Amino acid sequence: MSESAAADPGSRNAKSLPGIDYETFLSCVHCGLCTASCPTYKETLDENDSPRGRIYLMRAVADQRVSLTQAIQHHLELCLDCRACETACPSGVEYGKLIEPFRNRQFEVPRDFFHRQILWKLFPDARRLERALIPARWASRLGMMWLIRATGLWKLLPAKWGRMVTLLPPLRAVPPLPGRLPAEGTRRATVALFVGCVANAMFRHVHWATARVLQANGCDVVIPPDQACCGAIDFHSGRDEPARDLADRNLAALDRSDVDAIVVNVAGCGAMMKEYGQHWPDDRQPARVAFASKVRDVHEFLDELGWEAELGELAIRATYHDACHLAHAQGIRDAPRRLLEQIPGLRLVPLDESDTCCGAAGTYNLVQTEMADRLAARKLRNILRTGARTVVSANAGCTLQILRESRLQGTRLDVVHPMELLDRSIAAASR
């Protein structure tokens, strides 16, 4: 080892931590202002479960001062990657550029049946997932799903299977979207609508609502047939290459010269797609950067475009939950609220800790169950304090998590996407 490398831990370990700029570690001054925003620290009060604590641990491993022990790995795995610390940080530390590459490149990729067959093979494939859900649809229609949940029979299943049963939303029979839907009135824009995997299998009605809202505001909506999962499931579980392949499939399907924007209505998918240009430094990176620049969350897009559709009255008391990957990862907070506040009769009640993670965090609620349950219970307590029984959520995972917790606690909540309420309001105006 050279004398200069020995004096500089960053250069000494540049090869051992590919994909991580050591200067990002140094940008953290360990002031602690992030701790009050960190969901896991608020629950455990363990400094190792705070953002600055995790940065310290990762840097210690990078400097070869400590080994990556199981204890250290546990503290890092417990991170939700919600990015709340980035919002709170006065120094602008890009925590997401540390925790994800570190875990992806330093942790051993899980090889168990659940990861191989469910997370990596079933979930990212909308057609395969839809076929797998056929028995659940019939069970729901026959009332068996309610019986399984009400009697606690799901607890007799293997742990992860039981959780998946309790997470399932009401499954509706909704036809696929066509390849193109025309604008109503004067065309103002042409957009490609990303439908994804889990969202397309379980929340296709939200895609239809989104398309109708876009049409009503003068948008031609294109739904390319060859698009794929956004890649977040693979990427967040350490599978770089499959995630990159999915990203490149989306480039081929969605990056069309005839569309003004690629519109996404799932916060986690939008955050992943906006970061395509950051993850894989190869010869396709410039194309991914250009693609990411066209990705827009649907609320962001409509807020920029300007609302034109007539809205009818909805006499609803609702509260809005900030999805982490919308509020923190994408920095979009006001646009959904501005759109919702235009609905006559809708009363939006503020939610305490609105931008504190509900514990869904992609597949976190399937692999870090104890912490996910604590955060879900905390979120539900805050929701119930508002008195609202309609919860507005712009992320499929959050919707599933909040619905699950409310059912387990015996509380009836209507958890809807903002596009659903706007679609209902447009329909009310035409009556």
Quick: pLDDT tens for 218-272: 999 999 999 999 999 999 888 889 999 999 999 999 988 999 999 999 999 999 9
The Cβ of residue 71 has, within 10 Å, a number of other Cβ atoms equal to 10
Question: Comparing 93-102, 145-154, 192-201, 259-268, which segment has the lowest mean pLDDT?
Answer: 145-154
The β-bridge partners of 317 are 347
Is it the case that residue 175 has pLDDT exceeding 80?
A: yes
Q: Number of C-alpha atoms within 13 angstroms, CB side, residue 126?
A: 19
Q: Element (H or E) spanning 200, and its range?
A: helix 198-202
pLDDT of residue 12: 41
Contact by Cβ (8 Å): 265, 177: no
Is it the case that residue 5 has pLDDT exceeding 50?
A: no
Is it the case that residue 349 has pLDDT exceeding 80?
A: yes
The β-bridge partners of 191 are 221, 261
Task: State the Cα–Cα distance between residues 397 and 386, nearest whole angstrom.
Answer: 22
Cβ burial, residue 284 (10 Å; 0-12/13-18/19+): middle
**Confidence at 171, pLDDT banded by 50, 70, 90:** confident
pLDDT of residue 4: 35
| Cα 162 off chain centre by | 22
pLDDT of residue 36: 92
pLDDT > 90 in the chain, percent? 68
Closest CA to 123 of 351, 397, 425, 325: 397
Contact by Cβ (8 Å): 351, 319: yes
Task: State the Cα–Cα distance between residues 74 and 125, nearest whole angstrom.
Answer: 29
pLDDT of residue 424: 98
Is it the case that residue 35 has pLDDT exceeding 90?
A: yes
pLDDT > 70 in the chain, percent? 96
* Tens digit of each residue's pLDDT (9 = 90 or more) over 313-326: 999 999 999 999 99
pLDDT of residue 8: 41
pLDDT of residue 295: 98
Is it the case that residue 345 has pLDDT exceeding 60?
A: yes
In one letter, which amino acid is 295?
V
Average pLDDT for 30-40: 93
Is it the case that residue 13 has pLDDT exceeding 60?
A: no
Give the CA radius of gyration of the chain: 22
Is it the case that residue 211 has pLDDT exceeding 70?
A: yes
Is it the case that residue 18 has pLDDT exceeding 70?
A: no
Which of 41-50, 94-103, 139-148, 150-159 is predicted most confidently? 41-50
* Tens digit of each residue's pLDDT (9 = 90 or more) over 368-411: 999 999 999 999 999 999 999 999 999 999 999 999 999 999 99
Question: Comparing 1-15, 186-200, 385-399, which segment has the lowest mean pLDDT?
Answer: 1-15
**Confidence at 16, pLDDT banded by 50, 70, 90:** low
Is it the case that residue 11 has pLDDT exceeding 60?
A: no
C-alpha angle with apex 87: 302 to 343, nearest 5 degrees? 30
- Helix segments in 204-266, DSSP class H: 204-216, 232-236, 240-254
What residues does each domain of the chain span? Answer: 3-106, 113-167, 174-431
Rounded to the nearest 10 degrees, the angle between the axes of helix 70-77 and helix 51-62 is 140
Closest CA to 191 of 312, 296, 273: 296
What HEC string does 261-327 produce? EEEECCHHHHHHHHCHHHHCCCCCHHHHHHHHHHEEEHHHHHHHHCCCCCCCCCCCEEEEECCHHHH
Is it the case that residue 329 has pLDDT exceeding 50?
A: yes
CATH of domain 3-106: 1.10.1060
Contact by Cβ (8 Å): 75, 30: no
DSSP at 256: -
Closest CA to 325 of 240, 395, 382: 395
Average pLDDT for 413-431: 96
pLDDT of residue 398: 97
Task: State the Cα–Cα distance between residues 197 and 203, nearest whole angstrom.
Answer: 10
C-alpha angle with apex 316: 203 to 149, nearest 5 degrees? 45
pLDDT of residue 15: 40
